[in-house]
Structures are given as structure tokens and as C-alpha cells.
Amino acid sequence: MPNQTFYNLPKDKKERITEAIIAECAMHTFEHINVSNIVRDSNIPRGSFYQYFKDKKDVFDYVFQYIGEVKMQFIGDLMKPSLDLPFLERFENIYTSGIEFASSYPKLMKAGQKMMESDIFKEHDMMKKATDAATSFYVNFIKIDQQKGLIRADIDPVLLASVMIEFSNKVSLAEYMKDIVDPHEIKHKVKGLIDLIKKGIEPHV
């Protein structure tokens, strides 16, 4: 992550550097990020850059966190435990909002695409922490629905949460890696997963 010197910068300068970083990360994978481009586009001395970021990994960490923070602000109330929604409805709304977020922030979406292409992405500590946090978040709502009788009591909450997250991640990776992202296709697949979870695969008479 950037050091505190970066966070102490005036708002306009910090935003200028952030925009330059996002633009570079939207064009290149982590392995091909060019610090010279960031320095040029943000109009700062190269030495100043290394006062803020130790190396390119710090840049990757910052972009990962920045995208997550903007997305969380976009999703808003859907993440609040006080919002009374069944688990599956909450899951679908959060996922749909994530698709709308990608459409609303095309530069962040492109930066996210390039991050996904990098070998560092799947093994990144922040990715693992984010998955663990999402699992715990969903487990809580699954247990609430079990208490209400909306989900079978014998269902393992961790297993169900993990299945939903793993599937959604697979869909995201597959769809967002395409040159042309089709939001409707992503929504269709998520709705298909929810229908499968609700009804199972055995035929109903």
C-alpha cells in the first residue's frame, strides 16, 4: 500500500496521481505497468513517486483497494444488516449493482480487467481477505433466513455462501475478461444460479 505521505497529499494532487495510476492500470497488466507513464501523466517527479509507493506492488494494492472502496460506496445500503432482505434477493441485488458499477465506472472496470489478467491477482492476499469477508457476510444472512424458515435448517451456511461466491467470481472472471462485456449475460447467469439454488436440479411434478 502507499505510505502515509501519499495520503497526506492535497486532495487535488492525490486525485491527479490516482487518475494517472488508474489510466495506466486500465491499459496494462501488472507486469507491464510503466511508472514513467504514471509520473508523466500525474506531473510529478519520479523521485516523488517512490516517496509514495515503494514499488509496483504498492500500486497494485492501492488500485485493488481503491476499486473496492468506490464499489462499496456505490452498493451502499445493500450491505447494511439493517436492510430486511432475504439472502438470495440481497445476493442478486448486490451482484446486479456490481454490474451497474462496472458500467458507471468504465476506467475502473478496465483496470479491474487488467488486474484479473495478471498472475498476481488470484493469489493476492487482499483477494483472499475479500473472499473471506464476503463469506462471513453472507453466512450471517443465510443463518437469519434459516431462523425464519426461508432456507432449510440442514444447509451448511458456509458451503452455500462459498458456492454462491465461487460461481459469481467465475462468471465475473469469464465475462469481464471479454473484449465486449455483456451485462445482460452476466445477470442472466446469476439469475440462473439463484433459480438453481431455489429449485434444485431434480424435476418437479
pLDDT at 165 over 90: no
pLDDT of the residue at 127: 76
The structural domains of the chain, with segments of one domain joined by +, span: 4-199
Length of the chain: 205
pLDDT of the residue at 71: 87
- What are the pLDDT digits (tens) for 87-99? 999 988 888 888 8
Choice among 82-91, 145-154, 165-174 with the minimum mean pLDDT: 165-174
For residue 149, the SS3 value is: coil
pLDDT higher at 45 or 121: 45
pLDDT of the residue at 40: 93
Q: Please report which helix (H) or strand (E) contains residue 72, including its range.
A: helix 56-75
Distance CA 64, CA 15 (A): 16
Closest CA to 1 of 68, 47, 46: 68
Q: Tell me the CATH class for 4-199.
A: mainly alpha
pLDDT at 203 over 80: no
Mean pLDDT of 51-63: 88
pLDDT higher at 108 or 116: 108
Mean pLDDT score across all residues of the chain: 85
pTM of the model: 0.77
Percent of the chain with pLDDT over 90: 28
Place of cell 500525474: 42
Choice among 79-93, 126-140, 167-181 with the minimum mean pLDDT: 167-181
pLDDT at 205 over 60: no
